[in-house]
Amino acid sequence: MDSARPHERPTAFDRMLTPVHRWIWSDTDRRVQKLLRFSETETDGGRDILRAAEVTSDPLLRRLYLEHAIDEFRHGILFRHRAAELLKVSASRSSPGFDGDWLAPGGHGLDDLQVDGESDSSMLAFLHLSEKAAASRFTVYRDVMQHDPPTRAVFEEILHDETFHMNYTLTQLARVEPERHRRHLWGARLSRLWKAYLRLATALAGILGSMLLAIQYFVLLPPFAWLAKRAAHREGSGWTMVSPGHGDSLDRQY
Ligand SMILES: [Fe+2]
Ligand SMILES: [Fe+2]
């Protein structure tokens, strides 16, 4: 597909994280893992957009969604082929300890997409924001990839398509909802923000839960362990003599 407008500029947040992205992508093994994961994201996204083409009743959208899905499948193949090439030349086969996925995620966030039950306008608003996020991140990933021209070329090629996706979804949204397309965009923005908050809250809850368990283990358990040990010391070893008469009851042990 051909892009109708110039490339999207990366957001201030993505630009601010450029040194982090440069560091994340500098390791070959990490690059392989990330490219493979991006490949899955693109292919999954393509599958969802194919479903969107099936359920829409708008003939123009169906055709655009089909072309879009083909693009996403192709992106998946491009990422996978590049990962395979890097794997061939990579000296180490060990998986990297830190992949920085939450700092350098796949482009789209299309994993949040729920195709069935969505109207054309809400689908287009969601797709537009997802493609815009992809274009922003892929611009930064391309720019930090000077040390690896073939991977940089892959990002450059995919970025071209993502920019087109970003533009056509906005144009179509304005066509199907000329009056309320801004409201749909804000709705989609709030929904993405809410999902991002939920993801952050889940991650924080996991960290806090681990910290609380560690505090319980090191602070609360030792006194109980000490009391149990003291009780064990007080307990005489071996058989205990029972005073006569104590063993007569059939209701209790002693
Ligand atoms: Fe893509
Ligand atoms: Fe895309």
Distance 72 CA to ligand 2 centre (A): 6
Residue 133 CA to ligand 2 centre (angstroms): 10
Nearest by Cα to 99 from 114, 111, 83, 112: 83
pLDDT of residue 196: 85
DSSP code string of 140-174: HHHHT-TT-HHHHHHHHHHHHHHHHHHHHHHHHHH
User: At 241, is the pLDDT very low, low, confident or very high (cuts 50, 70, 90)?
Assistant: confident
pLDDT value of residue 111: 59
Q: How far is the CA of 224 from the centre of ligand 2 (A)?
A: 57
Q: What is the pTM of this model?
A: 0.74
Reply yes or no on whether the pLDDT at 235 is more than 70.
yes
